[in-house]
Each structure stands twice: as C-alpha cells, then as structure tokens.
Amino acid sequence: MNQETFLGLLRQHEGILHKICRLYRDTPEDREDLFQEIVYQLWKSYPSFQGQAKLSSWIYRIALNTALASFRKKGLRVSYPDTLPDHVAIPAPVLTEQQEQLFLALQQLSDAEKAIITLYLEDLTYQEIAAITGIDVNYVGVKLNRIKTKLKTILKS
C-alpha cells in the first residue's frame, strides 16, 4: 500500500483512533503517543489484512490491542522504522460538555468494558463485537446490559 492510500484510510477512520486514545489515556500527551503507536501498528499490519472483516472492525481490533498491550509494555522504548508515513498527526476533535461527561464516565470502566461499549456505540453488531473482542456473542449482550447499568450509576453520581 502506498503512503497516500494509507493516510486516506487514516483520515476516513480517525474517529475510531481518537475514541480509543481518549478512553485509554488520561493526558493529551499520552493520547498522542498512543495514537502514534496505533498508526504504526496499523501501518505494519496492513499488508496482512485479508478483507475477511470490515476495515473498521480490523482497525478497532488493532487499536484496542495496541491500547491494552501498551499498558503491559510500560517502560519499553519503541523504535519506529523510517518507512512510516509523514504527516500522520490528525488533531483530536473538540468535545461538547455532554461528550466530555460521557468520556469521563467511560474511563471509569474496566478495559474490557470500554472496548465492548465503544464498539456498541459505533453500531457494530453483537457478532462483530464478539469477533473483535473474542467473547461469545451471547455474552456480548449480557456484558452490555451490565455496562449500561454501571454507566447509569456513574452518570447519576
């Protein structure tokens, strides 16, 4: 894939990346670092994308795995190859007060809960959520009901 095609895909799906970064990191600097790491992982992994799933589902899987894996790798230095495209920085969107409150509530969830509710809020089907997260389709519904109840409690307090 050439650099222009890759950058076009990033622009098309940048909302996914910003949501994951916002949910899994607290500071703007950490979000930017995670964003760059996700972009790197997408660039590195794209040649192996076979198109068996939707591109957005594949991006979610890479982004969520990168966000979760980077917690485990704390302290390791990552070196990036010279072949990574230039000008990857895409500014984060400005949030309304209501959106900010929702993100603050979502940040109080566990990493697994964040992943599931994020995918749900993107209108993915239970089957797609199950495929991305690796849990059973029926359990997706159970988890979503529990997460919704938990979010209602958080938002009321």
State residue 86's pLDDT score. Answer: 55
State residue 109's pLDDT score. Answer: 93
Domain 95-157 has CATH 3.30.70.3270: no
State residue 51's pLDDT score. Answer: 80
State residue 87's pLDDT score. Answer: 53
pTM strictly above 0.75: no
State residue 91's pLDDT score. Answer: 61
Q: Are 10 and 39 in contact (CB under 8 A)?
A: yes
Task: Point out the residues of the chain with pLDDT beneath 50.
Answer: 75-80
What does the domain layout of the chain look like in residue ranges? 1-93, 95-157
State residue 72's pLDDT score. Answer: 56
State residue 78's pLDDT score. Answer: 46
HEC-encoded secondary structure of the chain: CCHHHHHHHHHHCHHHHHHHHHHHCCCHHHHHHHHHHHHHHHHHHHHHCCCCCCHHHHHHHHHHHHHHHHHHCCCCCCCCCCCCCCCCCCCCCCCCHHHHHHHHHHCCCCHHHHHHHHHHHCCCCHHHHHHHHCCCHHHHHHHHHHHHHHHHHHHHC
In this structure, CATH architecture of domain 1-93: Orthogonal Bundle (1.10)
